[in-house]
Structure 1
């Protein structure tokens, strides 16, 4: 009797409980900016998270992602000063009520989280022999972003909070962390145990922005623009 291809495919699927855990991690992932606990992550847990990131897909198997673990309070203080300076500049695009709302936001946990993680991309690496990067060289950086998402989902499953600090000058981070010019800075993360995870993204809970419905971002066969609210 011929094998049903659908049944064959389903045979490799996870159990319902395992699938639920995966989707739960995706749904409950949060960009954490507050509530970090002072207890450092055990090295074996940090290693698991970094291994999850390192196992992410990468174009041409180039594995361009590099990780810089930052624990020193002296270094984190320098990064925090760079954030404060960048945040002051960023706030200048807002006025009135929107400026008030921006000023009330908690946008980083650099000093609260006992470890930070800077993630860079070696976009010109010869590993992978250029496969997949001729038409779209950006795929090297996309590969690093995949690694970040892997780490983020694994961290949520471990009860570890992650916060992405994008309000900081790349040049300042290069200087503080002695990052070579040929490496592209992609992310600066705050990482640690937290006192809880919000039931919705913080920016949504604070009224900064609302999420779009899935139906508003999906097209079939050709792109269809949606009216903005």
Structure 2
């Protein structure tokens, strides 16, 4: 899939809409969401902004999860850009599928909604339904750390949607080459900034619990926090 601004639902499989038909959602269907490949943090910011604008009373039930680790090598399955049968992808901006070397840009961001005991995950880069129940997302996309090298274990910085909207900023410098050209085309919207910062993306990607906002979990604790049926 080319790196371009598009609706998130282009070339979707029919199963992408199954959950959306059976649960009340608080964001548009995937086809109507603002989406730019390789800018997952901004895609999620706009989902949060939509809830703030149209479903403000639900914002307290929404969360943002940055997925990364110290090695900056994050294996995820069921990603639409994946070319293997199980859609495995290791997120970085050169679009490699195995971790040959650490990449400071290797992370992923998802939007989560917890209206009751069943949490929903909204991942515009996934080929799973939009949204997907948390337990299915874990089973299909995160799977288990036991099959991975320790340096590839996934960690999660979870931030409330309201704090994310207040604190997050990105001037997209991480997507520019040394000569100033774009590694991948940016979204058509203006960069996200706050009165305090124009760029703090690295603080959110960091899995140092003492850095930035929110709570950092390993995979096991992340599942315990959001899967109430365990």
Band the TM-score falls in, shorter-chain normalisation: under 0.3
**Which structure dedicates a bigger proportion of its chain to helix?**
1
**Which structure dedicates a bigger proportion of its chain to strand?**
2
| Higher RCO, Cα 8 Å, sep 6+ | 1
Larger radius of gyration: 1
